[in-house]
Amino acid sequence: MGKMSVDLCGITLDNPIIPASGTFGYGYEFAELYDINMLGTFSFKGTTKDARFGNPTPRIAECSSGMINSVGLQNPGVEKVIGEELPKLAKCFSKKVMANVSGFSIDDYVYTCEKLDKCDQVGWIEVNVSCPNVHGGGMSFGTTPEASAQVTRAVKSVTTKPIIIKLSPNVTDIVSIARACEEAGADGISLINTLLGMRIDLRTRRPVVANKMGGFSGSAIFPVAVRMVYQVSHAVNIPVVGMGGVSSAEDVVEMMLAGATAVEVGAANLIDPFACKTIIEQLPTVMEKYKIDSLKEIIKGVR
């Protein structure tokens, strides 16, 4: 297992596989299917300061080689996550977990991150800056270097755990945003979040998703994700967690060659709940096939 281990912001993972936020709940549901301690870690469901019911239904649209979701960050709020969800998780997961945080103002991010920073179970805090800034005209925090850096500085001022900023691909220059986060103190970058997509029902001539548009994910976005991971990992000096359409052990190796230290698996979990288990089990065979002695050695293996 040592040959599959990686170091993410000072914490060793047995392997680089991390189920992505929003696709793995709070973990204990999957623990009924297999021992989730085989995972590197996982990023739990996006958590906000207050409870959220989410967007109106329907929230999901199927696509060729992917899906669109507009769930709207439905979650019970950080107090219940800490008081109810994490104690349940502790019964079936002995490793550090990655907390995923969303917010609609700087104060929201600060409050939620500060609360989760005090949880011993939490190893890293993944901060999703794809949320609309309610005090900034509704534009996503992650669309400009300045706003992304502002969130980064604010949460770093109230936390001691590694902060990983999760970036949106819906921008013209992702490298400048990643660099701004690094300069503001980010310990890592994760990308890509979903692309913006839309489907229309030909019979009703109306959008399939009630919110009209939503996040497009799945294997169709993998080449875009690889490109952005490559660009960002070669522009910053902090670890990059790659994600976006990953569905096989081969995809994991490709993402790591592009520059990812660890790899999140998202939509594949919704298709097959055993997706991450299968990827981890197949990694040694893929490593042998491509003559890889250690996964650490292939990070940023493409110049």
Cα angle: 13, vertex 27, 57; to 5 degrees? 130
Q: Which residues pair with 188 in a beta bridge?
A: 164
Question: Do residues 148 and 131 touch, judged by C-beta distance below 8 A?
Answer: no
Q: Whose CA is closest to 119, among 150, 155, 176, 78?
A: 78
Cα radius of gyration rounded to whole Å, the chain: 18
Rounded to whole angstroms, the Cα distance separating 196 from 251 reads 22
Selected catalytic residue, list 113, 131, 181, 276 = 131
Whether 131 is catalytic is yes
Q: Whose CA is closest to 197, among 74, 103, 60?
A: 60
Question: Do residues 23 and 266 touch, judged by C-beta distance below 8 A?
Answer: yes
- Give the residue numbers marked as catalytic: 131
